[in-house]
Structures are given as structure tokens and as C-alpha cells.
Homo-oligomer: A and B are copies of this chain.
């Protein structure tokens, strides 16, 4: 007699749509994820075994396994041989995504606004050229933005992009995240490296971010690469530490 068992009530009501272009494993994973997030499958729940689940959904076991593995990759469940599949701490969602500050704030319902402080074509200095992988002195687009939420400034963001991939306008940047715009141009973002640190604000920075003189700022530099290992974007950012912190989830 298992201590807890679920999926018996919620899952048989669910049927996959075989005419949908959405893969079956993904439909199942999505439904399980929704059930976990909605509380229908609370933390600690032991799911039905994959063989029975596959049978009750009319799927093969490999397809069911793939759905399960998807949830493992997201950190929502843990699987143990001889034991079963257990729902873990629901707080640990969204382990690794390349999100922008704009998306983060929007998701938190904080109504982000962006003011573009400058948008111009400049010659790449040594630092920018090295991080972006372009020749020093070549032309790149420099974007400086002030992002606010709830009327208070959060961050000053300075980004450099190769001229060739910028076809959006200054207006687009006021209402969309930078990554969103880059992705819409067909660039497949692959990975990014980010360095976080801290330093005290200069007088101008303190004024801009409405922080006291000498306040501690979070600093971030990020380089984003596409599928070919080509740098797509390099940015140096400062954040008002009294109003923003970085949340990072890690899976072992």
C-alpha cells in the first residue's frame, strides 16, 4: 500500500490529441506540469508507475518515459529505481532559461517600462570588440536603456550588438525585451555567460537610479551566443540593489 498515490484521479480524464502537431510526450508532460503547479499533484506525491500511465493514456512506454524525463529535466519530479516518481518542492521551477529583465518583471506583474537613453552606431572599443568577437573599430550598435518598474528605476543597461542583426527600431525597444526582438529576427539563441559582481555607484549613477550616494550596485556583464558560437550581444548592466536581486535555480 503506497503512502501516497495519484494520477488515478486526474490523469485518466486527460486524453492526448493525436491530430495535434504538438508531440505526444510534450502534451503529457505539459498536463502533468499543470497538475503539479495547480496543486492537484502536491509535493511528495508518488505518481503512478510509467507502465500503467502509458497504458491508461494509450501511449507506448518510451513516449511516457520521455514525458517523465522532461519533468525531471525541469526539476519538478525525482525518479528512483525501485521506488517511483515523486513530486518535489514546487518552489523550484524554471531552472534554466535565458530570460531578460523585461520578461522577469512582466512575469512578476511589476509593469516594466523602458526608456531608451541612446541608440546609435559606434565604433567598437577593445573590450566590446573582444567580447563580441568583432574587429576593433568596426561598427556596432550601442543601446542604453533605463528600465523601471512601478515608477522606480531598476537598472541601466548598456548593450552592444553587431550591426548586421539589428533591424528593430528605438520604439520597439521601449515595449519589448532585447532577446525577444533578436529572436524574432530568426536568430537562434544558444547560450550565454554572465558575470555578476558589485560596486558602489558614481554620483551620476546614483542620481539615475534614485539611490543614495555611494549605494552598492549589482553589476552584470553578459555575452550571448547563437547556434554557431557567434556572439550575438554583449552587455554591461547595473542594478539598483535595493529594488532588484538575481534569482538563480540550479540543478545538480
Contacts and interface: CB of A to CB of B under 8 A. Distances in A.
Q: How many copies does the complex hold?
A: 2
A33 to B, nearest CB: 16
Contact of A246 (B191, B197, B217): B197
A199 B96 contact: no
A216 B200 CA distance: 5
B241 A197 contact: yes
Contact of A250 (B44, B73, B192, B252): B192
Interface string A143-185: 0000000000000000000000000000000000000000000
Contact of A247 (B75, B193, B199): B193
A118 interface: no
Contact of A191 (B97, B197, B229, B249): B249
Contact of A248 (B89, B200, B248): B248
21 contacts: A62-B62, A78-B227, A91-B229, A92-B225, A95-B191, A96-B251, A97-B250, A97-B252, A190-B251, A191-B250, A192-B249, A192-B250, A193-B247, A193-B248, A193-B250, A196-B196, A196-B218, A197-B244, A198-B216, A200-B215, A214-B214
Interface of A: 43-44, 62, 73, 75, 78, 80, 86, 88-89, 91-92, 95-98, 189-200, 214-218, 225, 227-229, 239, 241, 244-252
